[in-house]
């Protein structure tokens, strides 16, 4: 009885839930996320780690239903009881920085997210729902599963359109437009074979009112990532750039912008900016800001020159 | 539970001390009293038990008065006239008259219960109905929130360490008009330690503010699994497994850790014995590596008063590994411990609005329920286990789930034909006649959750199903008429483990307020109900050649009753006192009963 009302614990484990139907690409995505932990200690709770197919060079040790990776990440199989698996993980010392739960194909992800609401050490970072472009028609009309399918999409703080390469481009665009019409505030991205920068998936900060920075902040990307079908743009923004103006500029880029990060200064002082899941957070800083600013978005983002113009104007 | 028994503690009549020859095993007292144990390998004294009435469930000879036991098995069944012939052919056989005023039935078989029943008795029962504990104590039902609070206060006042978490179970507020329990109610028990009350369904939990503060339930979150008052403040009630998780996290107690411990098993078997159960299931268990050895050590003891059939939780591993684990368990079995079934849970519960229903879904308009395994995945598992030759039991509550599961079984059987698979649908509460017809064709059996009629019947009429569909809930009559093998169950600890009560529910079909569900076509007779809790359940476990009836060659598993249920009839079935049981011919007398 050492964790009771007498001392409340900081919510220091971020929770990301990966939802999506069987075959929608959750395992491939997870596999790629685990290889780009970038210093975060990630624990992944998965349905079947045999299916994960982790590169054997990455595996440090395996005990029962737990695999430790050389980069400090851990993979556990859920077995039949998520509640107990989760409780076991949250009893571990030290706790992971980030917990990723692979929801079962028919799970209601909001039920899983609810654990974060009652666990003082767990903070919901976001629900990422995979939508299988090739099977969308099938799933949306499945007599037994359509309601589950829509529930999962509705629950997503980010929608990842998987297998876009298996169907006509126009079909993917049609799907994206349909999803945007139903869920205008939910950011979307395409994902092929699980390839996606981890920054797009983690750090959605879905739980409002909380702005904790993960203990191991992700490295800011500075190169264009075209093989993922995503564009990124980074720059050093000099001079004061007010939070309000910056927020406005970023929202002018929706729905094409997915993530933005920056360490900047304005009249009120230094601040960090996080934009994810359609929401923007500012955090006061005590340090000298680097002026580093990065945007990740879809190929439809304005080109580098246009972005430069947009933000330099703001920065002037 | 409704059968209230006299609490006189006349444990052992003198006659028991004299009848060492009848291989008495008095579960607790014998060691202290110096009575001889009956150890395995010792020769079994052949005995003829004389009874007032023996209901055999054997059509060749449904009624008898004498039964001869030898080598833990049934040697002969008949009447006083047969005794001389038996003596001549098999003698010497001692005549035992301990139960000459009693009625003997085949040992009852509970085809769907959970070992957790044994664990919960470590905590405090606060249910609405009287419930008999493992030691024969009748815990009186608590009829209001105030009664529950008062009962817990009394416990709190007498505990050695009042700062330890106080856990109660069995609470069911659906019978209370007006308000629901709040954190403040439980703060009245104590504000200085965690107090948690687990509901009968096991899927709702009430916490006191001590736990709520420790959990720091976030007001900003609008989770539908946290009940809130009109001002939006959490009331202390948590839905789904959330409450259990929170209680575990904030108390650092693993409420389920002891689920397979010897103590849990002991308690489980004692609850079973009190209600006449000689073979009980644990449906299901992930049987982690090594658990089978620990279980067997406990179950093998002659003082352990039941056979245990553990259903392996099929989806605790991916299909291939799961089949391999099941294969590995096969040579860990014994006469008393079986790993012969594989269990899957395909949907949720009707009262929890998580069962998968066909249109028009829930009567109150709640959205359709949840799949616990996706249909394609279920098909994959059922196909793998059908190919490997393992019998599967699938929990299907809603009718849509029943249909999808039958589709999956049909596909599995097309791929791997198996005439006597006996795959069984568990609960299967909303099955229609069309579903039963299909089960018959496919060779699928059913184990219905008849206790639901009584405990949740009113709720099903008013809220979940509406009167019309609630009328066909757990349609045992329809099931038998369509020729589907039938068993009925309690799902203990969800409802009380007590086959005679379950039989009463299937026979009478009335809710706790006395409202009828359905008509004559859904009811079954007393004889059919008794068959369901003996041979019906044995068949569903593929043990009908060993147990389930009293006939020559079967194991000597017998339930000893104060009265003959056939004579008592439909109304009094649930109130018949269980004197004790015999397992392998060894007598296990109940606590709080007069032999
Ligand atoms: Zn059950």
pLDDT digits (tens, 9 = 90+) for A137-195: 999 999 899 999 999 999 999 999 999 999 999 999 999 999 999 998 888 888 988 88
Q: From chain B, pick out residues whose CB is under 8 angstroms from the CB of A91.
A: 252
Per-residue confidence (pLDDT) for residue A313, from 0 to 100: 55
Ranges B96-110, B363-377, B424-438: which has the least confidence: B363-377
DSSP string, B55-67: E---TTS-EEEEE
List the A122-132 sheet strands across, edge first: A59-63, A66-69, A74-77, A42-46, A98-102, A13-19, A122-132, A158-162, A188-191
Q: Phi first, then psi: what are they for B18, rounded to 5°?
A: -85, -20
Query: Which one-letter DSSP state was computed for residue A102?
Result: E
Ranges B48-52, B117-121, B539-543: which has the least confidence: B117-121
- The two tokens of residue B451 are 């206790």
Within the 293-312 window of chain A, which residues sit less than 8 Å (CB to CB) from chain B?
Answer: none
H-only helix segments in B61-200: 83-90, 116-120, 145-158, 183-187
Query: Higher model confidence: residue B334 or residue B3?
Result: B334
Give the SS3 label for residue B505. helix
Query: If you count residue pairs, one on A and one on B, with CB atoms under 8 Å apart, how many are there?
Result: 117
Per-residue confidence (pLDDT) for residue B201, from 0 to 100: 79
Q: What rounded mean pLDDT belongs to chain B?
A: 89
Residues B336/B307, Cβ–Cβ less than 8 Å:
yes
* Residues B271, B395 within the same domain: yes
Per-residue confidence (pLDDT) for residue B31, from 0 to 100: 32
CATH assignment of the domain containing B380: 3.20.20.140
H-only helix segments in B275-303: 291-299
Q: By CA distance, what is A7's nearest residue in B?
A: B214
Q: Phi first, then psi: what are they for A43, rounded to 5°?
A: -110, 130
* Residues B56, B142 within the same domain: no
Of A84, A115, A145, the CB nearest to B242: A115
Boundary (domain end) residue, out of B193, B228, B251 = B251
Residues B61/B137, Cβ–Cβ less than 8 Å:
no
What number of other Cβ atoms are within 10 A of residue B317's Cβ?
21
Per-residue confidence (pLDDT) for residue B140, from 0 to 100: 94
Query: Residues B268-288: what's their mean pLDDT?
Result: 95
Query: Higher model confidence: residue B12 or residue A96?
Result: A96
Are B249 and A106 within 8 A, CB to CB? Answer: no
CATH 3.30.1220.10 placement within chain A: 229-314
Per-residue confidence (pLDDT) for residue A9, from 0 to 100: 57
Per-residue confidence (pLDDT) for residue A92, from 0 to 100: 86
Give pLDDT tens digits for B195-214. 999 998 788 899 999 998 88
Residues A268/A255, Cβ–Cβ less than 8 Å:
no
CATH assignment of the domain containing B217: 3.10.310.70
Residues B358/B398, Cβ–Cβ less than 8 Å:
yes
Half-sphere exposure of B190 (CA within 13 A, CB side): 23
- The two tokens of residue A195 are 């390839």
Q: Does B331 touch chain A (CB under 8 A)?
A: no
CA–CA dist A143, A131 (Å, integer): 18
DSSP string, B37-57: P--TTSPPPPEEEEEEEEE--
Ranges B99-103, B246-250, B460-464, B509-513: which has the least confidence: B246-250
Query: Residues B511-517: what's their mean pLDDT?
Result: 95
On whether residue B24 sits in a domain, the answer given is: yes
Q: Does B316 touch chain A (CB under 8 A)?
A: yes
Residues A262/A292, Cβ–Cβ less than 8 Å:
yes
Is the pLDDT assigned to residue B30 strictly greater than 70? no
On whether residue B463 sits in a domain, the answer given is: yes
Boundary (domain end) residue, out of B101, B129, B151 = B101
CA–CA dist B356, B372 (Å, integer): 10
* Residues B333, B218 within the same domain: no
Can you give the residue range of the structural domain that contains B337? 262-548+557-589
Per-residue confidence (pLDDT) for residue B440, from 0 to 100: 98
Give the SS3 label for residue B383. helix
CA–CA dist B174, A167 (Å, integer): 51
**Preceding amide of B419 cis, omega within 30:** no
On whether residue B256 sits in a domain, the answer given is: no
Q: What rounded mean pLDDT belongs to chain A?
A: 81
Within the 248-267 window of chain B, which residues sit less than 8 Å (CB to CB) from chain A?
Answer: 248-252, 254, 256
Residues B64/B56, Cβ–Cβ less than 8 Å:
yes
* Residues B582, B451 within the same domain: yes
Q: Does the CA dihedral A122-A125-A127-A131 come out positive or negative?
A: negative
Q: Which is it for strands B166-171 and B124-125: parallel, antiparallel or unpaired?
A: parallel
Are B244 and A83 within 8 A, CB to CB? Answer: yes
Per-residue confidence (pLDDT) for residue B36, from 0 to 100: 29
Q: How confident is the model at residue A213 (pLDDT cuts 50, 70, 90)?
A: very low
Q: By CA distance, what is A77's nearest residue in B?
A: B317
Of A3, A21, A209, the CB nearest to B220: A209
Q: Does the CA dihedral B1-B2-B5-B7 come out positive or negative?
A: positive
On whether residue B82 sits in a domain, the answer given is: yes
Is the pLDDT assigned to residue A293 strictly greater than 50? yes
Q: Does A94 touch chain B (CB under 8 A)?
A: no
Is the pLDDT assigned to residue A218 strictly greater than 80? no
Query: Which one-letter DSSP state was computed for residue B575?
Result: G
Q: From chain B, pick out residues whose CB is under 8 angstroms from the CB of A114.
A: 221, 223-226, 240, 242
Closest approach of B370 to chain A, Cα-based (Å): 8
* Residues B67, B190 within the same domain: no
Within the 15-34 window of chain A, which residues sit less than 8 Å (CB to CB) from chain B?
Answer: 21-22
Q: How confident is the model at residue A239 (pLDDT cuts 50, 70, 90)?
A: low
Long-range residue pairs from A75-79, CB within 8 A, at least 24 positions apart, any chain: A75/A34, A75/A43, A75/A44, A75/A46, A75/A49, A76/A43, A76/A44, A76/A45, A76/A46, A76/A49, A77/A45, A77/A46, A77/A47, A77/A48, A77/A49, A78/A45, A78/A46, A78/A47, A78/A102, A78/A104, A79/B286, A79/B316, A79/B317
Is the pLDDT assigned to residue B447 strictly greater than 80? yes
Closest approach of A123 to chain B, Cα-based (Å): 10
Ranges B249-253, B344-348, B475-479, B545-549: which has the least confidence: B249-253
Q: From chain A, pick out residues whose CB is under 8 angstroms from the CB of B245.
A: 83, 86-87, 115, 118-119
Are A84 and B256 within 8 A, CB to CB? Answer: yes
Residue among B262, B314, B267 at smallest CA distance from B291: B262
**Preceding amide of A89 cis, omega within 30:** no
Are A113 and B223 within 8 A, CB to CB? Answer: yes
CA–CA dist B532, B499 (Å, integer): 9
Contacts of B434 (CB under 8 A, 6+ apart): none
- The two tokens of residue B428 are 């299967």
Per-residue confidence (pLDDT) for residue B222, from 0 to 100: 61
Q: Does B20 touch chain A (CB under 8 A)?
A: no
Q: From chain B, pick out residues whose CB is under 8 angstroms from the CB of A87.
A: 245, 248-249, 254
Q: Does A138 touch chain B (CB under 8 A)?
A: no
Q: How many domains does chain B have?
A: 3
Are B164 and A1 within 8 A, CB to CB? Answer: yes
Is the pLDDT assigned to residue B35 strictly greater than 80? no
Are B377 and A113 within 8 A, CB to CB? Answer: no
Give the SS3 label for residue A4. coil
Boundary (domain end) residue, out of B217, B251, B285 = B251
Per-residue confidence (pLDDT) for residue A4, from 0 to 100: 40
Give distance in angstroms: CA of B270 to centre of ligand 1: 19
Is the pLDDT assigned to residue B169 strictly greater than 50? yes
Q: Phi first, then psi: what are they for B230, rounded to 5°?
A: -60, -30
Are B374 and A8 within 8 A, CB to CB? Answer: no
Contacts of B457 (CB under 8 A, 6+ apart): B470, B473, B510, B511, B512, B515, B517
CA–CA dist B16, A298 (Å, integer): 84
Q: How confident is the model at residue B258 (pLDDT cuts 50, 70, 90)?
A: low
Residues A205/A281, Cβ–Cβ less than 8 Å:
yes
Is the pLDDT assigned to residue B48 strictly greater than 70? yes
Per-residue confidence (pLDDT) for residue A303, from 0 to 100: 79
Per-residue confidence (pLDDT) for residue A229, from 0 to 100: 62
Q: From chain A, pick out residues whose CB is under 8 angstroms from the CB of B224.
A: 110, 114
Are A106 and B215 within 8 A, CB to CB? Answer: no
Residue among B532, B538, B518 at smallest CA distance from B475: B518
CA torsion B237→B239→B241→B245, rounded to 10°? -30
On whether residue B107 sits in a domain, the answer given is: no
- The two tokens of residue B432 are 């229609």
Of B216, B246, B286, the CB nearest to A80: B286
On whether residue B108 sits in a domain, the answer given is: no
Per-residue confidence (pLDDT) for residue B27, from 0 to 100: 39
Hey, which residues does B239 pair with through a beta bridge? B204
Query: Residues B550-563: what's their mean pLDDT?
Result: 98
Ranges A96-100, A298-302, B53-57, B297-301: which has the least confidence: A298-302
Q: Which is it for strands B204-207 and B234-239: parallel, antiparallel or unpaired?
A: antiparallel
Of B216, B254, B256, the CB nearest to A8: B216
CA–CA dist B165, B175 (Å, integer): 26
Threshold 0.90, pTM exceeds: no
Helices (H) and strands (E) counted in chain B, each on its own, are 22, 24
What radius of gyration do chain B's Cα atoms show?
24
Q: From chain B, pick out residues whose CB is under 8 angstroms from the CB of A48.
A: 318
Are B370 and A106 within 8 A, CB to CB? Answer: yes
Give distance in angstroms: CA of B313 to centre of ligand 1: 11
Is the pLDDT assigned to residue B389 strictly greater than 90? yes
Query: Higher model confidence: residue A114 or residue B408?
Result: B408
* Residues B143, B181 within the same domain: yes
CATH 3.40.50.300 placement within chain A: 3-209
Are B221 and A207 within 8 A, CB to CB? Answer: yes
Are B375 and A21 within 8 A, CB to CB? Answer: no
Give distance in angstroms: CA of B121 to centre of ligand 1: 18
Give distance in angstroms: CA of B213 to centre of ligand 1: 32
* Residues B297, B403 within the same domain: yes
Give the SS3 label for residue A188. strand
CA–CA dist B111, B226 (Å, integer): 34
Per-residue confidence (pLDDT) for residue B382, from 0 to 100: 97
**Preceding amide of A120 cis, omega within 30:** no
Is the pLDDT assigned to residue B21 strictly greater than 50? no
Of B245, B251, B317, the CB nearest to A115: B245
Q: Does A271 touch chain B (CB under 8 A)?
A: no
Give distance in angstroms: CA of B316 to centre of ligand 1: 16
CA–CA dist B139, B120 (Å, integer): 13
Topology annotation, domain A3-209: Rossmann fold (3.40.50)
| Homologous superfamily assigned to A229-314 | CobW-like, C-terminal domain (3.30.1220.10)
Q: Which is it for strands B103-106 and B47-55: parallel, antiparallel or unpaired?
A: parallel
Are A115 and B367 within 8 A, CB to CB? Answer: no
Per-residue confidence (pLDDT) for residue A10, from 0 to 100: 63
Query: Could you give the ipTM of this predicted complex?
Result: 0.81
Ranges A117-131, A234-248, B314-328, B566-580: which has the least confidence: A234-248
Hey, which residues does B281 pair with through a beta bridge? B309
Long-range residue pairs from B353-360, CB within 8 A, at least 24 positions apart, any chain: B353/B464, B355/B397, B355/B398, B355/B401, B355/B429, B355/B430, B356/A144, B356/B397, B356/B398, B356/B400, B356/B401, B356/B404, B357/B398, B357/B399, B357/B400, B357/B430, B358/B398, B358/B399, B358/B400, B358/B403
Residues B61/B77, Cβ–Cβ less than 8 Å:
yes
Q: What H or E segment, with its residue span, contains residue A18?
A: strand A13-19
Q: By CA distance, what is B223's nearest residue in A?
A: A114
* Residues B153, B201 within the same domain: yes
Q: How confident is the model at residue A238 (pLDDT cuts 50, 70, 90)?
A: low
Per-residue confidence (pLDDT) for residue B95, from 0 to 100: 95
Per-residue confidence (pLDDT) for residue A283, from 0 to 100: 82
Ranges B188-192, B245-249, B324-328: which has the least confidence: B245-249
On whether residue B594 sits in a domain, the answer given is: no
Query: Higher model confidence: residue A238 or residue A1?
Result: A238
């Amino acid at each position: 009885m050492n964790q009771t009302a007498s001392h409340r614990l900081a919510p220091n484990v971020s929770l990301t839930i990966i939802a999506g139907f069987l075959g929608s690409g959750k395992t491939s995505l997870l596999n790629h996320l685990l290889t780009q932990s970038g210093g975060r200690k990630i624990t992944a709770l998965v349905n079947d780690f045999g299916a994960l197919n982790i590169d054997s060079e990455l595996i440090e040790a395996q005990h029962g239903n737990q695999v430790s990776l050389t980069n400090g990440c851990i993979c556990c199989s859920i077995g039949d009881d998520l509640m107990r698996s989760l409780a076991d993980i949250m009893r571990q010392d030290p706790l992971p920085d980030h917990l990723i739960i692979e929801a079962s194909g028919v799970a209601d992800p909001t039920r899983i997210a609810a654990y974060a609401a009652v666990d003082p050490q767990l903070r919901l970072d976001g629900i990422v729902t995979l939508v299988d472009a090739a099977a969308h028609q099938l799933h949306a009309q499945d007599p037994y599963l359509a309601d589950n399918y829509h529930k999962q999409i509705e629950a997503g703080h980010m929608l990842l359109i998987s297998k876009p390469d298996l169907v006509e481009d126009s079909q993917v665009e049609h799907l994206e437009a349909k999803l945007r019409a139903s869920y205008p505030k939910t950011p979307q991205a395409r994902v092929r074979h699980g390839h996606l920068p981890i920054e797009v998936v983690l750090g959605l900060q879905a739980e409002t009112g909380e702005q904790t920075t993960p203990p191991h902040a992700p490295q800011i990307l500075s190169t264009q990532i075209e093989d993922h079908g995503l564009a990124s743009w980074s720059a050093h923004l000099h001079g004061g750039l007010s939070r309000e103006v910056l927020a406005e500029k970023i929202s002018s880029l929706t729905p094409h912008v997915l993530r933005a990060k920056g360490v900047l200064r304005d009249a009120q002082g230094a601040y960090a900016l996080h934009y994810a899941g359609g929401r923007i957070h500012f955090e006061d800083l005590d340090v000298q800001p680097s002026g580093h600013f990065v945007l990740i978005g879809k190929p439809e983002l304005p080109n580098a020159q246009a972005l430069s113009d947009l933000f330099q104007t703001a920065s002037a | 539970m409704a059968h209230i028994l006299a609490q006189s503690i006349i444990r052992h009549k003198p006659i028991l001390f004299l009848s060492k020859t009848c291989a008495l095993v008095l579960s607790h007292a014998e060691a202290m009293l110096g009575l001889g144990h009956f150890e395995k390998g010792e020769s079994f004294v052949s005995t003829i038990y004389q009874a007032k009435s023996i209901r055999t469930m054997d059509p060749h000879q449904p009624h008898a008065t004498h039964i001869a036991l030898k080598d833990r098995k049934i040697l002969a069944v008949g009447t006083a006239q047969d005794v001389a012939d038996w003596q001549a052919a098999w003698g010497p056989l001692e005549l035992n008259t301990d139960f000459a005023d009693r009625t003997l039935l085949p040992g009852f078989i509970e085809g769907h219960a959970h070992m957790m029943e044994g664990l919960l008795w470590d905590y405090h029962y606060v249910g609405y109905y009287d419930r008999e504990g493992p030691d024969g104590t009748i815990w009186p039902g608590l009829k209001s929130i105030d009664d529950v609070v008062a009962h817990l206060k009394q416990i709190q006042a007498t505990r050695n360490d009042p700062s330890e978490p106080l856990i109660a179970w069995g609470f069911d507020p659906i019978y209370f008009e007006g308000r629901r329990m709040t954190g403040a109610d439980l703060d009245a028990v104590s504000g200085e330690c965690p107090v948690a009350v687990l509901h009968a369904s096991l899927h709702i939990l009430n916490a006191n503010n001590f736990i709520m503060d420790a959990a720091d339930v976030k007001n900003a979150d609008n989770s539908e699994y946290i009940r809130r008052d009109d001002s939006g403040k959490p009331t202390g009630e948590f839905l789904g497994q959330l409450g259990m998780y929170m209680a575990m996290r904030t108390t650092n107690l693993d409420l389920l850790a002891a689920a397979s411990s010897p103590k849990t098993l002991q308690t489980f078997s004692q609850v079973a014995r009190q209600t006449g159960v000689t073979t009980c299931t644990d449906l299901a268990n992930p049987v982690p590596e090594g658990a089978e050895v620990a279980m067997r050590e406990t179950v093998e003891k002659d003082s352990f008063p039941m056979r245990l059939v553990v259903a392996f939780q099929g989806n605790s591993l991916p299909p291939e590994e799961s089949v391999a684990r099941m294969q590995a368990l096969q040579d860990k079995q014994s006469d008393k411990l079986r790993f012969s079934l594989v269990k899957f849970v395909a949907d949720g519960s009707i009262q929890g609005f998580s069962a998968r229903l066909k249109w028009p879904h829930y009567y109150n308009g709640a959205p359709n329920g949840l799949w616990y395994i996706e249909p394609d995945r279920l098909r994959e598992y059922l196909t793998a286990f059908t190919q490997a030759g393992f019998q599967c039991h699938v929990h299907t509550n809603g009718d849509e789930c029943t249909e999808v599961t039958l589709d999956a079984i049909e596909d599995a059987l097309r791929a791997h034909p198996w005439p006597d698979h006996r795959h069984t649908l568990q609960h299967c509460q909303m099955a229609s006649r069309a579903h039963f017809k299909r089960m018959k064709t496919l060779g699928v059996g059913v184990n219905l959750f008849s206790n639901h009629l009584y405990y949740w019947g009113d709720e099903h009429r008013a809220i979940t199903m509406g009167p019309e569909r609630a009328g066909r809930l757990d349609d045992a009559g329809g099931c038998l008429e369509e020729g589907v093998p039938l068993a009925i169950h309690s799902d203990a600890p969800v409802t009380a483990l007590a086959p005679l009560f379950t039989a009463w529910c299937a026979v009478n079909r009335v809710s706790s307020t006395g409202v009828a569900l359905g008509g004559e076509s859904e009811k079954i007779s007393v004889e059919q109900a008794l068959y369901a809790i003996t041979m019906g359940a044995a068949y569903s476990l593929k043990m009908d050649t060993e147990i389930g009836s009293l006939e020559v060659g079967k194991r000597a598993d017998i339930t000893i009753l104060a009265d003959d249920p056939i004579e008592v009839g439909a109304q009094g079935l649930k109130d018949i006192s269980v004197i004790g049981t015999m397992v392998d011919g060894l007598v296990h007398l109940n606590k709080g009963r007069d032999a």
